[in-house]
């Protein structure tokens, strides 16, 4: 007899890092339940797109999804007026997602009713009829909050998927009060900004979206934060053992008026990442020939860019440190830190932007790759001793799970907030003291040597190993995050059976 199916709908945004996170959560939900219980879960993820639904490095991820996860890529809308106007990444994602909402609504309606509604997609109706019409819950990305009202219209539970830290979530839930308390620009605020349950931070370390109070980005951020309070629950990609105080501070039991918060992390990539190539093999073979914990892994993510001046200083600093390094995803210089966030484009010869003679002089010391690399495999390699990272939350969690201490080098979005958490809060990272200025080669060399050889680096490494153990415990069968997912799944299954 075929097992009954409980259907969950997800709504993501046109940002691959967000898509990975919410779909990896779906994979974990299915992994925990579909082979061990009497009810199957089926997940449909609705994804607005900017241009092509998948790119060279994202296609393998979507191809690797289990058959019980179905993705519907909505037709792209013309966003030419958004991509070259200097707006923040968050603003561009928010506005592009908003334009896709009519199609999101039609697609959700077709999933719930098994009918292709006017303007809906045939793919959505097909997906619904081959699984189940018992859509019991809608889970939307934190930047797709407009979709929450569709859950109420369709009489299904509506949840927020928050792919960042609990610290950032606490700031968001507290942001209406911050908006009233802080009267100047946050970067100019003379005192540290207080966040419930978290370390206080400098105003400049708040997300890019709030750094200009008169901007559209600021208004959208404030509006989004206010919408968080109306959901049936918030799933946050963190875990109790890492951010216990922040989780308790925002829980409804504290009289905060917040919805229930469910820490379900660490959710990280469980696929190698990007298309397999000779370059992947090259970097892994190179690591095989390096001593234990001797290599600094350097990556600014799939979209981060540095200025030409900063590329020069970083390269020369790595050389000056005399420490081994693996530098991947090197991109053409750009004064906008998020210049390639959407396109992911690589120039043919980005290595030409390195200082003259650098590659020859460091041939035995390091390896530079201008291409995508299998990050989780690299971080899990015994030769890697530290990670110089842009502090994207996915990268931070991968580093935690693999137990690799970090050098925090935030570029854009919420990355400075993440950097404050890992350096001053968790103390599992070191950070340049130059702030938003160009970090010079001497400071870089000192920082790298301190991490790889110094006493400060040794202490950071010790704390990271402890945090790694806590992450592993959270994911055990009776761990805090696994138990939370089980509780949510039981609630959803019960609703599905009662339909």
pLDDT, mean of residues 71-92: 72
Span 395-427, pLDDT tens digits: 999 999 999 999 999 999 999 999 999 999 999
Indicate if 278-473 has the same CATH topology as 5-164+211-265+475-498.
yes
CA 300 to chain centroid, in Å, comes to: 13
User: What are 20-29's pLDDT values in tens digits?
Assistant: 999 999 999 9
Task: Evaluate if residue 492 carries a pLDDT over 60.
Answer: yes
The whole-number pLDDT of residue 277 equals 53
Q: What's the whole-model pTM score?
A: 0.93
- Which 3 state secondary structure label does DSSP give 199? coil
For 241-363, list the strands marked E by DSSP. 261-263, 295-299, 324-327
pLDDT at 133: 55
Identify each DSSP E strand in 285-398 by its residue range: 295-299, 324-327, 366-368, 384-389
Instruction: Examine the residue annotation and report whether 18 is marked as an active-site residue of this protein.
Output: yes
Angle at 160 between CA 155 and CA 166, to 5 degrees: 155
Distance CA 13, CA 21 (A): 11
**Cα–Cα distance measured from residue 383 to residue 364, given in angstroms and rounded to the nearest whole number:** 15
55 within 8 A of 20, measured Cβ to Cβ: no
- Of the listed ranges 164-168, 180-184, 225-229, 432-436, the least confidently predicted one is 432-436
**What is the C-alpha separation between 420 and 430, in angstroms, rounded?**
10
The count of other CB atoms within 10 Å of the CB of residue 4 is: 14
**Residue 263's beta-bridge partner residues?**
236
Instruction: Name the active-site residue from 7, 18, 33, 390.
Output: 18
Question: Would you state the pLDDT for residue 364?
Answer: 92
- CATH number for the domain running over 278-473: 3.40.50.2000
Of the candidates 33, 70, 106, 141, the residue annotated as catalytic is 141
Better-scored residue on pLDDT, 86 or 88: 88
Choices 3.40.50.920, 3.40.50.2000, 1.25.50.10, 3.40.1800.10: CATH for 5-164+211-265+475-498: 3.40.50.2000
**How far apart (Å, rounded) are the C-alpha atoms in residues 13 and 143?**
7
Cα dihedral across residues 80, 81, 85, 90: positive or negative? negative
Report CA torsion sign: 125, 129, 132, 134.
positive
Q: Residue 14 above 80 pLDDT?
A: yes
CB 130 within 8 A of CB 151: no
- What pLDDT digit, counting tens, does each position of 137-194 carry? 999 999 999 999 999 999 999 999 999 999 999 999 999 999 999 999 999 999 999 9
Indicate the SS3 state at residue 3: coil
State mean pLDDT over 299-325: 95
Per-domain boundaries in the chain: 5-164+211-265+475-498, 278-473
Strand partners of residue 234: 160, 261
């Amino acid at each position: 007899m075929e097992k009954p199916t409980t259907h969950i709908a997800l709504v993501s945004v046109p940002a691959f890092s967000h898509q990975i996170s919410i779909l990896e959560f779906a994979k974990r939900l299915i992994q925990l339940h579909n082979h061990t219980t009497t009810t199957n879960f089926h997940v449909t993820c609705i994804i607005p797109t900017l241009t092509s639904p998948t790119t060279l490095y994202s296609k393998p991820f979507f191809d690797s999804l289990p058959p019980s996860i179905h993705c519907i890529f909505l037709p792209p809308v013309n966003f030419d007026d958004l991509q070259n106007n200097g707006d923040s990444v968050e603003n561009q994602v928010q506005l592009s997602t908003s334009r896709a909402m009519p199609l999101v609504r039609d697609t959700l309606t077709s999933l719930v009713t098994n009918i292709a509604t006017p303007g809906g997609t045939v793919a959505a109706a097909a997906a619904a009829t081959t699984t189940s019409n018992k859509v019991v819950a809608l889970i939307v990305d934190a930047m797709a909050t407009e979709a929450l009202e569709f859950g109420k219209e369709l009489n299904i539970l509506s949840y927020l998927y928050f792919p960042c830290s609990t610290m950032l979530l606490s700031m968001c839930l507290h942001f209406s009060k911050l908006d009233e308390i802080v009267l100047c620009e946050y970067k100019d605020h003379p005192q540290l900004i207080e966040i419930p349950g978290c370390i206080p931070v400098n105003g400049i370390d708040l997300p890019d979206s709030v750094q200009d109070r008169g901007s559209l980005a600021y208004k959208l951020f404030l509006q989004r934060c206010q919408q968080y309070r109306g959901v049936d629950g918030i799933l946050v990609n963190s875990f109790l053992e890492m951010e216990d105080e922040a989780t308790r501070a925002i829980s409804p039991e504290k009289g905060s008026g917040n919805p229930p918060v469910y820490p379900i992390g660490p959710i990280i990539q469980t696929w190698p990442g990007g298309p397999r190539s000779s370059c992947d093999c090259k970097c892994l073979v190179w690591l095989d020939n390096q001593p234990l914990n001797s290599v600094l892994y350097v990556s600014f993510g799939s979209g981060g860019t540095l200025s030409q001046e900063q590329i020069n200083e970083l390269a020369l600093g790595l050389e000056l440190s005399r420490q081994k390094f693996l530098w991947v995803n090197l991109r053409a210089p750009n004064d906008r830190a998020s210049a390639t966030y959407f396109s992911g484009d690589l120039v043919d010869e980005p290595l030409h932007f390195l200082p003259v003679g650098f590659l020859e002089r460091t041939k035995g010391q390091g390896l530079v790759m201008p291409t995508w690399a299998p990050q989780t495999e690299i971080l899990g390699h015994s030769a890697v001793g530290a990670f110089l990272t842009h502090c994207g939350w996915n990268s931070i969690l991968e580093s935690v799970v693999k137990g690799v201490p970090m050098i925090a080098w935030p570029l854009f979005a919420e990355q400075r907030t993440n950097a404050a958490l890992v350096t001053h809060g968790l103390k599992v990272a070191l950070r340049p003291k130059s702030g938003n200025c160009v970090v010079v080669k001497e400071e870089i060399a000192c920082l790298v040597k301190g991490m790889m050889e110094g006493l400060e680096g040794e202490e950071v490494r010790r704390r990271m190993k402890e945090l790694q153990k806590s992450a592993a415990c959270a994911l055990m069968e009776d761990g805090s995050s696994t138990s939370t997912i089980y509780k949510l799944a039981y609630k959803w299954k019960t609703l599905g059976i009662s339909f």
